[in-house]
Structure 1
């Protein structure tokens, strides 16, 4: 199935983009990190925590284990260094999950309860597409927030990742 290599590449891209974004955010002071900014989750701290929480929620659904969070606006890691470590671990978990997928599972449905407790059934491939799109969407918001600081935002373009990956 052609989708398996695609989703596995998206998992690697996700880790690459997060490493670049977090490297830039590491140059922010704690005050700048938590400062209010325009965005749905109105700070870099809240936005990057939201991405992590969302990833954990979806991976728990994919792996059919108990949800680790009850709200999408939770901030389990207010300190940057702790969030960075958690992010790195979650990115490895994403790569491991996609590496273990097979065509039969990818062709199936994902049954789960959404955050409101409503039962949902969605094809797994579309759930994965949403999962990766969600990361990119909010990472773009964080990138825009970083633009309002003195720290230069890194390129997160997938084509840059692909060129680096293909060159190695």
Structure 2
């Protein structure tokens, strides 16, 4: 189980890494975002939207409400600038939410329903861990897509964040 300080740090890290990717993606030729590649999610903009949709789904679970998504592959924001703004908003929400938690609220087990319709139960802190881990996993897919361009992806390792940025948003981070 995670504590409040770790929850805050992980949510700040996620926001930093997400924005670092968006900043880098703005430098690529625009057609690279929608160019189809191998894999279950074929485009960079598709992967970014998937991360965003999952963030919103788990946000809804944490808020004890319906999320309204019928697919994890939804593409609510085909435009990079609009998606960047929406992602920033949800990342800011996770930072604020984490800051408002207590040790006991992070341990609270919440019931929810997966998009598939299957029921689930999970502690709130574990939900946050899933959100952070899920985004990290899919940023790895984006890294592979960068190499196919070829282009150099941003470095978003947790160790880079911890040694260079300590808090997000701040300075150049």
CA distance in 2, matches of 1:55, 1:68: 13
In structure 1, what is the equivalent of residue 163 of structure 2? Answer: 163
CA distance in 1, matches of 2:130, 2:76: 23
| 1:8 counterpart = 2:8 | yes
Per the alignment, do residues 129 and 2 of structure 1 end up closer, same or farther by CA in structure 2, a change over 3 Å counting? closer
In structure 1, what is the equivalent of residue 94 of structure 2? Answer: 94
Deviation per residue, 1:30-53 (Å, 9 max, x gap): 321100123331110100000000
Residue ranges of structure 2 left out of the alignment (5+ in a row)? none
Q: CA RMSD in A?
A: 1.8
In structure 1, what is the equivalent of residue 109 of structure 2? Answer: 109
In structure 2, what is the equivalent of residue 123 of structure 1? Answer: 123
Question: Could you say which structure has the higher helix fraction?
Answer: 1
* Counterpart mapping for 1:139-150 below 5 A: 139-150=139-150
CA distance in 1, matches of 2:92, 2:107: 23
CA distance in 1, matches of 2:166, 2:51: 27
CA distance in 2, matches of 1:135, 1:146: 16
Task: State the Cα distance separating 1:95 from its structure 2 match.
Answer: 0.6
Matched length? 168
After the TM superposition, which segments of 4 or more aligned residues of structure 1 sit over 3 Å from their partners? Answer: none
Task: State the Cα distance separating 1:23 from its structure 2 match.
Answer: 0.9
SS at match of 1:121: strand
| 1:75 counterpart = 2:75 | yes
CA distance in 1, matches of 2:151, 2:93: 29
Conserved 8 A contact 1:36-1:43: yes
CA distance in 2, matches of 1:116, 1:81: 30
SS at match of 1:147: helix
Task: State the Cα distance separating 1:149 from its structure 2 match.
Answer: 1.9
Deviation per residue, 1:117-150 (Å, 9 max, x gap): 2221122232222221111101111122122224
In structure 2, what is the equivalent of residue 136 of structure 1? Answer: 136
SS at match of 2:120: strand
SS at match of 2:148: coil
Residue ranges of structure 1 left out of the alignment (5+ in a row)? none
